[in-house]
Amino acid sequence: MQYPYENLENFTIGALWQRGLGMYSKNPSLAWVGEEAMSYEKMGAKIDAMKALLKANGIHKGDKVLLLSENMPHWGVAYISITSLGAVVVPVLPDFHPAEVHHILRHSEAKAVFVSSKYQGTIEDAPSSDVEFVINLDTLTLLEDISNKSYLSQFKQKMKEKIHKHDATQVNEEDLCAIIYTSGTTGHSKGVMLTHKNIVTNAMSSHSVIEITSEDTFLSVLPLAHTFECTVGLIVPLLHGSSVYYVAKTPTPSVLLKAFELVKPTMMLSVPLIIEKIYKNKVLAKLNGSFLTKNLYKIAFFRKQLNKIAGKKLLETFGGRLRFFGIGGAALSPFVEQFLLEADFPYVVGYGLTETAPLLAGTPLEKPKKFKSTGPAMYGVTLKIKDADLHGEGEICAKSPSVMRGYYKDEEKTKEVFDEDGWFLTGDLGHLDEDGYLFISGRSKNVIISASGENIYPEQIESVINQNELVADALVMEMDSKVVARVYFEQELLDEKLNALHIADSQAQKEIQKLLEEMRQEVNEQLSSFSKVSRFIHQAEPFVKTPTKKIKRYLYTE
């Protein structure tokens, strides 16, 4: 297998970084939105200083180093420093509950921590762990006292007892690079072990989807501790000499609009929820604001014309230079994809898992997109469908240099996701068409079997429900052998609708039930007879979600 990248000695993070540093030393690398980016050369100096600090305090090859922070330029500095030393980075999503962070600290046996000031308290409150010193990520300085424990003085004493110092260690592509603890929809957190080769080859396979250059500018809004943003939003740009800008505040619509104006990104990654909200609140709301456009939008010919106009305006909103908008992490609603297609928006839907570092499939920008498909396999990836039915549908399986080593300290779970021939079992159901394009039906664990034996995919019904502008989120599940849906409304739109009636709270509840029943009937008109929903339930509180904005189903279905 040949990747089109010269001057890369081996597939390690350190080798990838050294190549980028050598080729793009004067280029801008990482920065806050609105600030000047540090050059690759300056970033390299910070990385060298951090490697020296880690080595001086006893971090050796294979040691675990936790990384807990919101997105910032120094996140990448810490990540490269840890991994190029041969130590193992343990990135933690800042959305995790402190108890979950403490569990990861213990389970990973982390010897050191990089933490931003915002989350320093979480580390200070941690009960007993193996942590020996802590580095503040904002300032890249050693914290001498954490939770009344003088880690620095203790460790200096330990260092005096060392017989010899460890010098530069050879890092190999098969060495463990990162342990990523997932917080999935099933509720079982697992430590995914990714090697250097897993991550670097996945980053290099990006060339099969789009050409990336040193002139490209990324805007980062997804958490870097998630594999999608880390590999595609950090490692990929560093491989190509591109620059990445981070938003210092919570990415609200007003904050993002300002960031688009300042950065004018050429590339951006998103989970479906972000683009779905933009479509509903910015595009659809405007079209529905006029009686004429609302009715014209129902006619295919006029809808396509209106979508083209809206697409041009949307690109202007993103700064006018966007040429790649990568969507991953969850399923994209078909009604939103229809808009993106007809609007000529430069989007690509990718498919993958944390366990595959992450990408397995994606449609190259120059190739025709197929509606509802995640595209063909990425470069170096082989996909197959296991136990396919008469329609060619079955479990999606993969072989790739990016497939994980296994789950940390869990051989039993590792064995469960590999078959006897070494294929990784994704747990997703789908089929491949004659051109090798992958179509995903849903998660195998979520499938509902109808009374007559047909497969009902909750995700597909949810996408139909979510088309309603009043719906913020929907969850379809089985209850008492029937298909039911829980619906959480867009609260502002619901309030507007109910306030217009000037009614009391008790009457409002009756109106909500009436609205739910009307929606149920509208949705069922678009579904097969065996998959019709018997009841809509009002979800009063927002659904609890994973960091990639997928509903934690187990909280509502078990």
Longest dimension (CA), the chain: 82
- Which tokens go with 249? 């505040």
Buried b / exposed e across 444-476, counting CB within 10 Å, b at 16+?
A: eebebebeeeebbbbbbbbbbbbbbeebbbbbb
* Residue 519, pLDDT score: 93
- Which tokens go with 12? 């390690």
* Residue 546, pLDDT score: 79
3-class SS at 361?
A: strand
* Residue 165, pLDDT score: 44
Residues in CB range of 62: below 8 A, 6 or more apart = 86, 87, 88, 175, 176
Contact assessment for residue 463 and residue 331, using Cβ atoms and an 8 Å cutoff: yes
| Topology agreement, domain 13-207 and domain 213-224+238-381+425-445 | yes
Strand-pairing partners, residue 321, are none
pLDDT per residue as tens digits for the range 348-383: 999 999 999 999 999 998 888 999 999 999 999 999
* Residue 284, pLDDT score: 86
Model confidence pTM above 0.75: yes
* Residue 148, pLDDT score: 42
Continuous H helices in 130-251: 151-160, 196-204, 227-230, 236-240
* Residue 5, pLDDT score: 80
Peptide bond into 358 cis (omega under 30): yes
Q: Which residues of the chain, if any, have pLDDT below 70?
A: 1, 145-168, 183-189, 452-453, 500-501, 558
pLDDT per residue as tens digits for the range 13-31: 999 999 999 999 999 999 9
The yes/no answer on whether domain 457-557 falls in CATH 3.30.300.30 is yes
* Residue 252, pLDDT score: 83
- The residue ranges of every structural domain in the chain are 13-207, 213-224+238-381+425-445, 457-557
Fold of the domain spanning 213-224+238-381+425-445:
Rossmann fold (3.40.50)
* Residue 331, pLDDT score: 82
d(CA 161, CA 146): 23
Contact assessment for residue 68 and residue 90, using Cβ atoms and an 8 Å cutoff: no
Continuous H helices in 144-299: 151-160, 196-204, 227-230, 236-240, 253-263, 272-278, 285-288, 291-296
* Residue 426, pLDDT score: 96
CATH number of this structure's domain 13-207, picked from the four choices 3.40.50.980, 3.30.1370.100, 1.10.10.10, 1.10.150.530? 3.40.50.980
pLDDT per residue as tens digits for the range 381-433: 999 999 998 889 999 999 999 999 999 999 999 999 999 999 999 999 999 99
3-class SS at 179?
A: strand
3-class SS at 304?
A: helix
